[in-house]
Amino acid sequence: MQYESLDDRTRTALVNIINAMFHVIFKRDFQGTERNQFWRNILRDVYSQQIDCNPDISYKTNRMFEIINNTIYEEDYASVLSIIEYIARLFHKKAHYPGQFEVYDIFNDVLETEFVGYRFVNGYIVQITSDIEISQIEEAAKSKENKVDEHINKALNLLADHEPPDYENSIKESISAVEAMAMRY
């Protein structure tokens, strides 16, 4: 299992899946408006670069993929997982209509196939050791109780921090979720 590093094969698989999903999601964006917003978000939020918000600016797709690919191929596993998580969230927002694929499932398939010890759970990449853990966390996150969901999502967010995960506060949030559920009964 890959926990603290990613091999070249895994990095290539991640680059390939991002490229494939990008072209499917934005294939009908003939004017490039949504694609440009996608690139602006990545430049602003991931790379903290100054962006030109002029709507006539067209980010070159090849250049943007070069930037992302360099991150995936050259950075440590935590940086790679962070950018994958961010891109998957953007893709998830765009690919959520009938007939479209489930973004997180596709990334999870790649992570599982490549024996990476992380999976998407409720939109966050967290360290996982079994499918049972994933299903239990996902089930808890769908409790339909606002306070419980709030605590579970906070716990996942703390667990998803790759440098390093905040286990202590994640456990506290998990306990708060249990307490919130118990208070209901």
Whether residue 152 lies inside any domain: the answer is: yes
Query: What was the pLDDT predicted at 125?
Result: 92
Whether residue 39 lies inside any domain: the answer is: yes
Q: Do 93 and 13 belong to one domain?
A: yes
pLDDT < 50 stretches in the chain: none
Virtual torsion, Cα 154, 25, 80, 68, nearest 10 deg: -140
> Is pTM, for the whole model, over 0.95?
no
Residue-number span of the structural domain to which 165 is assigned:
129-185
Whether residue 140 lies inside any domain: the answer is: yes
φ, ψ (nearest 5 deg) of residue 122 = 55, 35
Query: What was the pLDDT predicted at 59?
Result: 66
Q: Are 53 and 39 in contact (CB under 8 A)?
A: no
- By CB atoms closer than 10 A (0-12, 13-18, 19+), residue 26 is middle
DSSP lists the bridge partners of residue 126 as 119
Q: Are 160 and 124 in contact (CB under 8 A)?
A: yes
The total of structural domains in the chain comes to 2
Choosing from 67, 93, 116, the residue where a domain stops is 116
Query: What was the pLDDT predicted at 6?
Result: 95
Q: Using alpha carbons, list the distances in angstroms from residue 115 to 14, 57, 73, 90, 163.
A: 13, 40, 17, 24, 20
Q: Do 52 and 139 belong to one domain?
A: no
Query: What was the pLDDT predicted at 33?
Result: 86
Whether residue 14 lies inside any domain: the answer is: yes
Q: Do 5 and 77 belong to one domain?
A: yes
Query: What was the pLDDT predicted at 99?
Result: 62
Query: What was the pLDDT predicted at 147?
Result: 79
